[in-house]
Structure 1
Amino acid sequence: MTPSTTSTAAGTHSDSERPNDNTSSPLDPQLELRRKISQAIDEGHDADIPSSEGFVLTEEEELRRQRSIAERRRNSIASSSKRGGVRGNGNHDVEKGRVPLPAAAGRSSGEEDGDDDADSGLNVVWWDGPDDEENPYNWPTWRKVMNCGFISAMTFVSPLASSLFAPGVPQAMAEFSSTSLEIASFVVSVYILGFAAGPLLFAPLSEIYGRLMLYHIANVGFVAFSVACALSPTLDALIVFRFLSGVFGSVAISNGSGTIADMITQEKRGIAIAIFSIGPLLGPIVGPVAGGFLTAAEGWRWAFWLLAIVGGVLLVLMLFTLKESYAPVLLERKAARLRRETGNNMLRSKLDAGLSPRDYFKRGIVRPFRMLFLSPIVAIAAVYVAVTYGYLYLMFTTITEVFQQYYGFSTSMVGLAFLGLGVGSIFGILIFSSTSDKYMKRKSAEADAIAEASGGVKPDMKPEYRLVLLPVGALLIPAGLFIYGWTASFRVHWIAPIIGTAVVGMGNIIVFLTVQLYLVDTFTIYAASAIASNTVVRSLAGALLPLAGLPMYEKLGIGWGNSLLGFVAVALFPVAIVMFRYGERLRTRFPIKNL
């Protein structure tokens, strides 16, 4: 009986060639890696595959890959026959389409002896050993910190734009002679609608062109449309420019987690994600504080001029310092260089899936929706984060009105009311970053000890270990909403509702970080698409839910309005329990096949 094969970008792995799960030593990193990849392939998804290990292809895509290799081989032989050799190298084997290769292009540890000649390890380009400095996992710490730092700065500036304009909305509405409460909210939240649309375009493009080019394009687009917002002649134009600014601002939000997965191993990823997430959650909170004083001093248009200036400085700095981290693109560049140097057109990257840019784009643009509709755990995470994210932006669009109406805050002072969300978010980040990686390592060590005592195989580091704090965040959100609503309703000292918003901010950041990192750990190479599916849903909620905020408070009052939100959050608390306790079962029982 012929053993079945499962295709990856690294070649075909037959069942007979896979390591035996019952005999492979947990101390052998290569056998452990192969075992994890085989298990993930058997389950039909890419969980636990490092981001540098390639793609799991469908049968149709594997056929395309083989045809691409065959065509490349024919072209190489024909070209070599015409030249009578390759750049004077008399050792070229025209029959097999090979040339002697440097170590960089030699047989990699992941290649199978059973591969055909056209796809053998002799023509596969991989890293120069486990310590290759070109491999982003082996970059020096300063390089990783620099890449993460600039991308985190992007994720601070783009969400900053979502709320920096909020204190200036009354001025803009007066200038454009509009009194609609819905439009007043929408002109703020339409930016988040751009966050929903952007990932659908930029997540698949990152698989074709890598991360670096998209970050540069995003910076240029963000600066351009920030300037357009500052010069807007009408309210309609302002709304359109705000939306397009949000589209370009979404790139770092949707691809940043994938960039971190490119460089940092799973056991160290918790702190990195926590630092990276400071920007998306503090940006919208710092925005109204700065926007309040800036609007009072210079007018609402200067909020956009400030964004253009900051974005422009970041654009220049990133042009000269940021480095590509996406392994498939790095290895394809290496393969192209070796093809030029050796004249062997058969050379290919180990991570080359043999797909055209069109196929890549189709896969990438469909994948977030396939994840959303075919994986219960992705759908549950998306809906739950969408509700909490919608609450956050509902507060962004209503805090100005609430504190001006109930406490008489001025335009410049009302921005300070947002500091409660900021302080709460900082505490949430500290709690998460100080516990997540430690808890994951402890649980993994416990599982390793049990496996060693029973003579079994070292188990995988489960992504569900990241969800331990999720129920805590799920409880803090409704608690903060009740405090905020009723203390403001009874006009208790202004510090009381701000404490309520701080509790909401703490709960929101804990929910956001746990789910974000859980998706990254679960769908490593497809982290960008997993985050994109989550971003689309939560951004729709962030854009549309605030439209109901001011009308809801007008009809129910601040107390019962926030209580309604709190009751919904309480009703959703079981979702956090389900994800924590049954996430692994849902993930493995309903795998996403053929992404």
Structure 2
Amino acid sequence: MSVFRNSFVGRLIYHASKHRFPSYPEEKPDYVLPAKYAADDKPPACQLTEENSFNSLDDVEKQEGRARSIGSNGAPIFVDYDGPNDPENPYNWPLYKKVLFIAGIGFLTISVYMGSAIYTPGIENLMNDLQITRVKATLPLTMFVIGYGLGPMVFSPMSENAVFGRTSIYIVTVFTFFILQIAQCFGPATRSIASMTVIRFLSGVFASPALGTGGASASDVVTAPYMPVGIIAWSIAAVCGPTLGPLVGAALVNGTGGSWLWTFRFMMIMSGASFVIFGFFLPESLGAAILRRKAQRLRKLTGNDNIVAEGEYANRSLTVRQVAVQTLWRPIEITLFEPVILFINLYIALIYSLIYLWFEAFPIVYVGTYHFTVVELGVSYVSVTLGIFIGSAIYIGYIYFAYTKKLLQGRENEVVPEVFLPPAIVGSVVMPIGIAIFGWSASPNTHWIGSLIGAMVFGMGGFVVIQSLFNYMAMSFPRYIASVFGGNALFRSVMAGCFPLFGPPLYNNLKIKDYPVGLGSTIVVAICLCMIAIPVVFYILGSRIRATSRYAGS
């Protein structure tokens, strides 16, 4: 019931039933009101009756107006959870609830990344059906990726505001994505590359909240010692998605006789099911939003207008325009004017770009050289996924001893954000090694297993680098984690969306006998080697750079 009560559908029913169902602890007859919330003429124990219940959403809006005027009638009384063990606090959720919540956010994330490249196995049939070139056929992929890079610049900072919270943004956008998939499957987009490209761009925008806010949602429900593990669980989905998309797409195209439309229909079914399931069972996790709603109930219960949540109090002196400017400008400001964020975003964006660029070499190697079928080609991408799981196991072991164990022992002074960077330095060296193995072992004279081992090694190094830098940013800027991840999503998505456009020419123009992707992979290796300097510099100078920041720290 607590999950449903804080879900999107639960909130709708709550307002429609005039706050009778599902009820909250503050609205039950046996609720004992803490003394600090009681009005002067009310005892600590209060009973909620028909007269002091909400009658409509207008009552909520009136309360918000009274909350904005706090200060003239007395000092604000800030709402908090009812003790350290309050079950409404996401940190106190039972373990199974946290696992299911993070799994749900991970599913939304992996669905988006799968949706970006899921239609690529049917791209030849798409080119034939619409009579277009490969570059034009790749545009829907590029625009989808750019769309889910732009979306978090709006949705991520919105999700940090107590008025919106996280869940409502997830559900409204996934419903909009579902509607767009219907148009993608049955509208003009099935006959026009221009219509398909526009719809794919809009789909990317509305599919984006999980990408920019997923890490923040995971950190909402896990305490500080275990925060990296929560972000790891979400990041596995974020990194595995691009590798699973071609596999699922290949199975769909092969199983439907070459129909590329079924890749979009699969996304329509998945997003529709997600809307229904998560609409009922994805609870709100943002503490500021939970306490804001509690403050509304307590004001109605007590008649004490000085009761307010910190999120309301922060907004009370701001106009709608000021809130909008702050919401839209913050991720841009953090991204452009924080050196730590700017260079880490460039590095992570480069890794994602190389993944999308490098994936263009897989058909050249496994279809052109080893004569794999479409499904076998899709399976080859799983080698990267395997490397990701191996890398995550190694990384979790390191994090436990370098971070979690020290916090549990009360040695907080020994834990600084730079503790996450040594694995990033190691991973940044491993990553180009994997690409080199892949590029120079892919030959008609060698077995295909060698190149897959190289792909697996790349997956290990790439995941460790990305995960380390995500955690470094999260610990450096904990108050604005959603805005930080939103800006990161923009960088990595816009860059990664453009790289597939010139991937095939890169490899084909540098093809040499017996080594079709050797020289092209060498260029990618050279870029990776140059970028090793980024985690090294931040490991040495990171604390000094963060000391000059207005956003860093708690």
- What corresponds to 1:209 in structure 2? 164
In the alignment, the residues of structure 2 paired with residue 99 and residue 530 of structure 1 have an alpha-carbon distance, to the nearest angstrom, of 46
- What corresponds to 2:92 in structure 1? 138
Decide whether the 8 Å contact of 1:103 with 1:128 is kept in 2: no
Q: Cα distance, 1:469 vs. partner? A: 0.6
* Residue 460 to residue 591, structure 1, CA distance change in 2 (3 Å): farther
Deviation string 1:333-379 (CA, Å, 9 cap, x unpaired) is 11111222222333211332023443333212111111112211111
In the alignment, the residues of structure 2 paired with residue 592 and residue 366 of structure 1 have an alpha-carbon distance, to the nearest angstrom, of 14
- What corresponds to 1:584 in structure 2? 543
In the alignment, the residues of structure 2 paired with residue 406 and residue 189 of structure 1 have an alpha-carbon distance, to the nearest angstrom, of 27
Q: Cα distance, 1:319 vs. partner? A: 1.4
2:531 aligned partner, one-letter code:
L
1:287 aligned partner, one-letter code:
G
1:579 aligned partner, one-letter code:
F
Select which of 245, 248, 251 maps to 1:293: 251
In the alignment, the residues of structure 2 paired with residue 477 and residue 101 of structure 1 have an alpha-carbon distance, to the nearest angstrom, of 65
Q: Cα distance, 1:185 vs. partner? A: 3.4
Decide whether the 8 Å contact of 1:473 with 1:507 is kept in 2: yes
Mean Cα deviation higher: 580-589 or 534-543: 580-589
Tell me, yes or no, if structure 1 residue 238 matches structure 2 residue 196: yes
2:328 aligned partner, one-letter code:
I
- What residue ranges of structure 1 are gaps of 5+ in the alignment? 1-96, 105-114, 449-457
- What corresponds to 2:115 in structure 1? 161
Q: Cα distance, 1:589 vs. partner? A: 3.0
* Residue 98 to residue 389, structure 1, CA distance change in 2 (3 Å): farther
Decide whether the 8 Å contact of 2:226 with 2:404 is kept in 1: no
- Please give the TM-score of this superposition, normalised by the length of structure 1: 0.76
Q: Cα distance, 1:543 vs. partner? A: 0.5
In the alignment, the residues of structure 1 paired with residue 183 and residue 450 of structure 2 have an alpha-carbon distance, to the nearest angstrom, of 39
Tell me, yes or no, if structure 1 residue 318 matches structure 2 residue 278: yes
Decide whether the 8 Å contact of 1:99 with 1:344 is kept in 2: no
* Residue 205 to residue 103, structure 1, CA distance change in 2 (3 Å): farther
1:462 aligned partner, one-letter code:
V
Tell me, yes or no, if structure 1 residue 390 matches structure 2 residue 353: yes
1:192 aligned partner, one-letter code:
V
* Residue 591 to residue 350, structure 1, CA distance change in 2 (3 Å): closer
In the alignment, the residues of structure 1 paired with residue 154 and residue 195 of structure 2 have an alpha-carbon distance, to the nearest angstrom, of 23
- What corresponds to 2:530 in structure 1? 571
1:345 match: secondary structure: coil
Tell me, yes or no, if structure 1 residue 248 matches structure 2 residue 248: no
In the alignment, the residues of structure 2 paired with residue 426 and residue 263 of structure 1 have an alpha-carbon distance, to the nearest angstrom, of 23
Decide whether the 8 Å contact of 1:190 with 1:243 is kept in 2: yes
Deviation string 1:436-463 (CA, Å, 9 cap, x unpaired) is 1321135558993xxxxxxxxx627312
1:185 aligned partner, one-letter code:
T
Number of matched pairs: 479
Q: Cα distance, 1:141 vs. partner? A: 2.0
In the alignment, the residues of structure 2 paired with residue 143 and residue 408 of structure 1 have an alpha-carbon distance, to the nearest angstrom, of 46
Tell me, yes or no, if structure 1 residue 535 matches structure 2 residue 494: no
Q: Cα distance, 1:190 vs. partner? A: 2.3
In the alignment, the residues of structure 1 paired with residue 174 and residue 143 of structure 2 have an alpha-carbon distance, to the nearest angstrom, of 19
Tell me, yes or no, if structure 1 residue 179 matches structure 2 residue 133: yes
1:217 aligned partner, one-letter code:
V
- What corresponds to 1:487 in structure 2? 441
Select which of 136, 144, 151 maps to 1:198: 151
- What corresponds to 2:419 in structure 1? 465
* Residue 491 to residue 588, structure 1, CA distance change in 2 (3 Å): farther
Q: Cα distance, 1:186 vs. partner? A: 3.0
Decide whether the 8 Å contact of 1:189 with 1:393 is kept in 2: no
2:328 match: secondary structure: helix
* Residue 399 to residue 200, structure 1, CA distance change in 2 (3 Å): same
In the alignment, the residues of structure 2 paired with residue 174 and residue 120 of structure 1 have an alpha-carbon distance, to the nearest angstrom, of 70
Tell me, yes or no, if structure 1 residue 342 matches structure 2 residue 302: yes
In the alignment, the residues of structure 1 paired with residue 205 and residue 129 of structure 2 have an alpha-carbon distance, to the nearest angstrom, of 26
Decide whether the 8 Å contact of 2:219 with 2:231 is kept in 1: no
In the alignment, the residues of structure 2 paired with residue 162 and residue 278 of structure 1 have an alpha-carbon distance, to the nearest angstrom, of 17
Q: Cα distance, 1:403 vs. partner? A: 2.2
- What corresponds to 1:521 in structure 2? 475
* Residue 313 to residue 184, structure 1, CA distance change in 2 (3 Å): same
* Residue 440 to residue 103, structure 1, CA distance change in 2 (3 Å): farther
Deviation string 1:525-552 (CA, Å, 9 cap, x unpaired) is 2110011111111111111122221111
Tell me, yes or no, if structure 1 residue 418 matches structure 2 residue 381: yes
Tell me, yes or no, if structure 1 residue 545 matches structure 2 residue 499: yes
Select which of 62, 75, 79 maps to 1:120: 75
2:375 match: secondary structure: helix
Tell me, yes or no, if structure 1 residue 189 matches structure 2 residue 142: yes
- What corresponds to 2:102 in structure 1? 148
In the alignment, the residues of structure 2 paired with residue 360 and residue 461 of structure 1 have an alpha-carbon distance, to the nearest angstrom, of 34
- What corresponds to 2:19 in structure 1? none
Mean Cα deviation higher: 524-533 or 126-135: 126-135
- What corresponds to 2:342 in structure 1? 379
Q: Cα distance, 1:482 vs. partner? A: 1.2
- What corresponds to 1:440 in structure 2? 403
In the alignment, the residues of structure 2 paired with residue 501 and residue 510 of structure 1 have an alpha-carbon distance, to the nearest angstrom, of 14
Percent identity between the two aligned chains: 29
In the alignment, the residues of structure 2 paired with residue 530 and residue 119 of structure 1 have an alpha-carbon distance, to the nearest angstrom, of 36
Decide whether the 8 Å contact of 1:390 with 1:542 is kept in 2: yes
1:416 aligned partner, one-letter code:
V
2:83 match: secondary structure: coil
Decide whether the 8 Å contact of 1:204 with 1:360 is kept in 2: no
1:351 match: secondary structure: helix
Tell me, yes or no, if structure 1 residue 218 matches structure 2 residue 181: no
What root-mean-square deviation, in Å, do the aligned CA atoms of Structure 1 and Structure 2 show? 2.5
In the alignment, the residues of structure 1 paired with residue 235 and residue 194 of structure 2 have an alpha-carbon distance, to the nearest angstrom, of 32
In the alignment, the residues of structure 2 paired with residue 422 and residue 484 of structure 1 have an alpha-carbon distance, to the nearest angstrom, of 15
- Please give the TM-score of this superposition, normalised by the length of structure 2: 0.81
Decide whether the 8 Å contact of 1:126 with 1:350 is kept in 2: no
Deviation string 1:464-496 (CA, Å, 9 cap, x unpaired) is 212221011101221111111122256522222
- What corresponds to 1:170 in structure 2? 124
1:516 match: secondary structure: helix
Select which of 282, 289, 300 maps to 2:240: 282
2:478 match: secondary structure: coil
Select which of 554, 562, 577 maps to 2:508: 554
In the alignment, the residues of structure 1 paired with residue 479 and residue 194 of structure 2 have an alpha-carbon distance, to the nearest angstrom, of 40
* Residue 129 to residue 350, structure 1, CA distance change in 2 (3 Å): farther
Deviation string 1:87-143 (CA, Å, 9 cap, x unpaired) is xxxxxxxxxx96657599xxxxxxxxxx9785635x322222222222222222222
Decide whether the 8 Å contact of 1:474 with 1:573 is kept in 2: yes
2:88 match: secondary structure: coil
In the alignment, the residues of structure 2 paired with residue 421 and residue 171 of structure 1 have an alpha-carbon distance, to the nearest angstrom, of 26
Aligned pairs for 1:95-106 (under 5 A) are 100=42, 102=44
2:385 aligned partner, one-letter code:
G
Tell me, yes or no, if structure 1 residue 502 matches structure 2 residue 461: no
* Residue 412 to residue 375, structure 1, CA distance change in 2 (3 Å): same
Q: Cα distance, 1:244 vs. partner? A: 1.6
1:237 aligned partner, one-letter code:
S
- What corresponds to 1:28 in structure 2? none
